[in-house]
Chain A
């Protein structure tokens, strides 16, 4: 596809349910990022992959959050035992590659809006 896609676009979960959010990055993009955007706030970094390697997961708010990218392309963000405070838009972004600190633009998907009741 032409851009980053995410599914589902909207997800409603009951408290305590597990959810899985999918991200399809731009073909050929090595780097993939997940962000959490609470209502009225800017995106906050969750985790970063380079190919299938998760190089930074310092932003994951708890051990209920888990991300994977087993084949270095599609990524899934899983949230176990969802809580109301997990309600947010989850954004995925991809970029070509970061080499020696050189910047490559991050292209964002439309996000998945998660509502936990």
Chain B
């Protein structure tokens, strides 16, 4: 069935370091792909999305490219800030409204 596998955490980085959080998916077809972020004490928020192969989603300095050939949607940011500390979830939506989420990757950025 459809599923998402993302890099396990926790991840700890120094401020201004480069971030990559890996995400791969299994799906029969062509899903839409998403990254959600959950800041401490808050609900999940959409960070970025891509709806077809080779699309690049971007927001707040984060980017992810929908790679059909490698079934991946890795999240990257060139220079992280302390305020980026959160849990990041990769997700796919195939048919209908149902989302499939990864297990989440906790990121802590230290000054």
Q: List residues of A whose CB falls within 8 A of some B CB.
A: 3-4, 31, 33, 35, 40-45, 48, 56, 59, 91, 93, 95, 98, 101, 103, 105-111
Contacts and interface: CB of A to CB of B under 8 A. Distances in A.
Given A91-B43, A109-B43, A42 B103 contact: yes
A42 B93 contact: no
Interface of B: 4, 32, 36, 41-46, 49, 51, 89, 91, 93, 95-104
Contact of B98 (A3, A45, A107): A45
B96 A42 contact: no
Sort A-B residue pairs by CB-CB distance and give the 5 closest, nearest first.
A42-B101, A108-B43, A108-B44, A110-B43, A45-B98
Contacts of B4: 42
Contacts of B46: 105-106
Contact of B104 (A42, A48, A108, A111): A42
10 contacts: A33-B97, A42-B4, A42-B91, A43-B44, A45-B100, A48-B96, A103-B49, A106-B46, A106-B99, A108-B44
Q: Is the interface of B mostly helix, strand, loop or mixed?
A: strand
A31 to B, nearest CB: 7
Contacts of A103: 32, 49, 51, 93
A98 B96 CA distance: 8
B96 A56 contact: yes
A56 B97 contact: yes
A42 B36 CA distance: 11
A42 B97 contact: no
A109 to B, nearest CB: 5
B101 A43 contact: yes
A42 B32 CA distance: 17
Contacts of B49: 103
B78 to A, nearest CB: 25
B103 A40 contact: yes
Contact of B43 (A3, A33, A42, A48): A3
